[in-house]
Chain A
Amino acid sequence: MSFTSFEFWLLVAVCVTGYYLFPARIRWTWLLGISGLYYAAAGPGFLLYLLFAVLTAWIGGMAAVSGKKAAVALPLLLDFGMLAWLKYTNFLISCLNHFPGVTLPYLELLLPLGISFYTFQSAGYLLDVYWKRCEPERNPAKLALFISFFPQLMQGPIGRYQTLSPQLTQGHSFDDTLIWRGICRITWGLMKKIVLADNAALYVNRIFGAYTDIRGLGFQGVLMYSIQLYADFSGGIDIALGIAEMMGIRLDENFRQPFFAKTLTDFWHRWHITLGTWMKDYVFYPITLSEWMRTLRQRSRKWFGREIGKAFCIGIANVIIFVVVGIWHGPAWHYIAYGLYNGLLIAAGGFFTGSFRKWKKSLGITDQTAWFRGFRMLRTFLIVNISWFLDRSVSLGQAWQMFKDSFGSRLWSVTVIDPSDPEKCMVRFLTIAAGCAVLLTVSILSEKGKDVRGMFLKLPWWGRILLLTGAMLLCALYGNMDDGGFIYANF
């Protein structure tokens, strides 16, 4: 069920209404039922994969509390093994087929909805039990709800058991403020997706899809991709968070004005936040605390000195993390290259931390100096946009070709999506520009710590209705008619 489909919103309406009609102590079972229905609607066969994940997490959790490594390793292996099998087998086959004499047939494997997200979520639970950060859940139904809660199934955020499960199982009282806040957030998410992302997608699809014919518009393509990806992904997250909020459940934030980031590291603390914190807690720290990393740290201190040795080890860990992030994005070399690009740049930054500190001191610059802040934001924005060549292209060859061609005289074209109808193109372009202006305003207010939805709540009820209706009418007026779906829905 797509977030923009009628059946999905009917399900949400039924879910929220039913939630408050049921007695508080069994409201969680209603949520479980709705989540199961949502998942089964995608395909009854997919439900089996979800049940498999729930079963391994439940049994694994009960066993992992013993502290034995094998007790947690086996369910993790099963879960990630399932994910790897479904997502990466054909990629492996395609790599092997490049060898002379090898012609392995491709397998028909369907990727169950949200498998990347719920696999990470249940793996996090298993490790938290193993590391005694939480008690194992003895009720399999409650654990099933944590893993399958439907608003986050399609594209996250990736939740933590300790903070999410108590909220899911506690029956929250009706509070009309939460309903208003939720509806406001949902409408904002729909606007971002329908008005901004879907229109930017027209440019992205055209420029990337016909890159051999339309040359030179690479930078326009990645800029539009920035808009599309951010509006699409954060829009979907807003919808998920808004739905949960209507029932008194606070899911974790996944974005924090990422394009205001000062460094690439800062960007990854603001973009897909829950993936970043998951990687930090369950991959980065275990790697850096492992024996082989300890040995490497001691040796690199001896070879390179304290500072460089430290940066070297953290750099290695970063590269590993980001290669994993790249692989998570998809089974293709250009995604791995995308991960490497980010990892290597962040690792390189670590080597120069001390030097940067000295240069800034000698030039009398601090991180609060206005022009320097602007410079850092622009620099980071450029670095991130270059990475989109690797993310959005379908091959390394395309990424390189488009990047090279971008340094020509032709930088921009409003009519590239349909040269036969320049007026329509201008309308779309202005829609994107206006949408970005609104998004920028809201982002600046949020960055300054203002509660934008709080401002919405200060309006009288009829004012809120007018605003929300107006927003939906804008979605109808300026939205696109290509049903492109959500980018991260197939992860």
Chain B
Amino acid sequence: MEELIQLLEEIQPGVDFANSTSLIDDGELSSFDVVSIVGELEAEYDIRFRPMDIIPQNFNSAKALYELICRLKEA
């Protein structure tokens, strides 16, 4: 989880991944940021995001993203 937050802060500096739980809802992450993150996470964790995964609930917090990554790794 800390590794993920570190990676996210590298991809998107200036965003509070450690504490925020409404990254999408509050507009802290734009659609371009989401795509950047998706690209980097796919390369880092060898997973494949699907369009159905790109919903605000999965990107609103680092924790939600972590849980999504775990689900995708198991699939």
A410 within 8 A of B: no
Whether B50 contacts A314 by the Cβ 8 Å rule is: no
* Residues in A whose Cβ lies below 8 Å from that of B35: 284-285, 288, 313-314, 317
Asked if B36 lies at the interface with its beta carbon under 8 angstroms from chain A, I say yes
Query: By the criterion of a CB under 8 Å from any partner CB, how many residues of chain A are at the interface?
Result: 22
Grouping DSSP codes into helix (H, G, I), strand (E, B) and loop, the B interface class, with mixed when no group exceeds half, is helix
Checking B30, B32, B49 against A289 with a beta-carbon cut-off of 8 angstroms, the contacting residue is: B49
- B1-43 residues at the A interface, CB under 8 angstroms: 30-32, 34-36, 38-39, 42-43
A residues within 8 A CB of B31?
Answer: 280, 284-285
A133, A269, A350: the one contacting B52 at CB < 8 Å is A133
Q: Which residues of A contact B30 (CB under 8 A)?
A: 265, 269
Chain A residues lying within 8 Å of B43, measured Cβ to Cβ, are 298, 301
Known: A280-B31, A298-B43. A285 touches B54 (CB 8 A): yes
Q: Are A132 and B38 in contact (CB under 8 A)?
A: no
Q: Using Cβ atoms and an 8 Å threshold, which residues of chain B touch A350?
A: 32
A192 to B12, CA, bound (A): 41
Known: A285-B31, A289-B50, A314-B32. A133 touches B55 (CB 8 A): yes
- Chain A residue nearest to B50 in the complex (CB): A289
- In the assembled complex, which residues on chain B have CB atoms less than 8 Å from the CB atom of A127? 51
B36, B39, B42, B52: the one contacting A131 at CB < 8 Å is: B52
Do A131 and B50 form a contact, CB below 8 Å, given A289-B38, A297-B39, A298-B43? yes
Known: A280-B31, A298-B43. A289 touches B52 (CB 8 A): no
Cβ of A294 < 8 Å from any Cβ of B? yes
Interface residue tally for chain B (C-beta within 8 Å): 16
Distance of A64 Cα from B52 Cα, bound (Å): 14
Q: Are B36 and A289 in contact (CB under 8 A)?
A: no
Q: Map CB proximity to B onto A126-154 as digits: 1 under 8 Å, 0 otherwise.
A: 01000111000000000000000000000
**A310 in contact (CB, < 8 A):** yes
CB closest residue in chain B, given A318: B32
Q: Which of A279-337 contact B (CB under 8 A)?
A: 280-281, 284-286, 288-289, 294, 297-298, 301, 310, 313-314, 317
Residue of A nearest to B52 (CB): A131
Name the prevailing secondary structure of the A interface residues: helix
Residues of B contacting A132 in the complex (Cβ-Cβ under 8 angstroms) = 52
When C-beta atoms are compared, the residue in chain A nearest to B10 turns out to be A306
A236 to B55, CA, bound (A): 30
A contact residues around B52 at 8 Å (CB): 131-133
| Contact present for A289 and B55 (CB under 8 Å) | no
* Chain B contacts for A294, CB-based, 8 A: 42
Q: A449 to B35, alpha carbons, bound, how many Å?
A: 29
Q: Which of B31, B36, B54 has the most CB of A within 10 A?
A: B31
Bound-state CA distance A310–B33 (Å) is 10
Chain B hits for A281, CB < 8 A:
51, 54
Contacts of A314 on B, CB cut-off 8 Å?
Answer: 32, 35-36
Residue of A nearest to B36 (CB): A310
Q: A280-B31, A314-B32 are in contact. Are A285 and B51 (CB under 8 A)?
A: yes
- Kindly list chain A residues whose C-beta atoms are within 8 Å of the C-beta of B55: 133
Residues of B within 8 A of A285 (CB): 31, 34-35, 51, 54
Q: Provide the residues of chain B in CB contact with A265, threshold 8 Å.
A: 30, 32
Closest to A130 in B: B52
CA A491 to CA B38, docked complex, whole Å: 34
Q: For residue B49, which residues in chain A have a CB less than 8 angstroms away from its CB?
A: 289
Residues of A within 8 A of B50 (CB): 131, 289
A265 and B52 alpha carbons, distance in the complex (Å): 24
Structural contact, B39 and A313, CB atoms closer than 8 A: yes
Q: Which of A289, A310, A313 contacts B54 (CB 8 A)?
A: A289
Cα A265 to Cα B36 with chains together (Å)? 16
Closest beta carbon of chain B to A356's beta carbon, Å:
13
Q: How far is the CB of B34 from chain A (nearest CB, A)?
A: 8
**Bound CA span A280–B35, Å:** 11
Pairwise interchain contact A286-B36, C-beta atoms closer than 8 A = no
In the assembled complex, how far is the CB of residue A271 from the closest CB belonging to chain B, in whole angstroms?
A: 15
Q: Could you show 29 A-B contacts with beta carbons less than 8 Å apart?
A: A127-B51, A131-B50, A131-B51, A131-B52, A132-B52, A133-B52, A133-B55, A269-B30, A281-B51, A281-B54, A284-B31, A285-B31, A285-B34, A285-B35, A285-B54, A286-B51, A288-B35, A288-B38, A288-B39, A289-B38, A289-B49, A289-B51, A294-B42, A297-B39, A310-B39, A313-B35, A314-B35, A314-B36, A350-B32
8 other contacts beyond A288-B38, A317-B35, A350-B32, with CB at 8 A cut-off?
A: A133-B55, A280-B31, A281-B51, A285-B31, A289-B38, A289-B51, A313-B35, A313-B39
Where the two chains meet, the residues of B that have a C-beta atom closer than 8 Å to any C-beta of A are: 30-32, 34-36, 38-39, 42-43, 49-52, 54-55
**Chain A positions near chain B (C-beta within 8 angstroms):** 127, 131-133, 265, 269, 280-281, 284-286, 288-289, 294, 297-298, 301, 310, 313-314, 317, 350
Ranked 3 nearest A-B pairs via Cβ: A131-B52, A288-B35, A285-B54
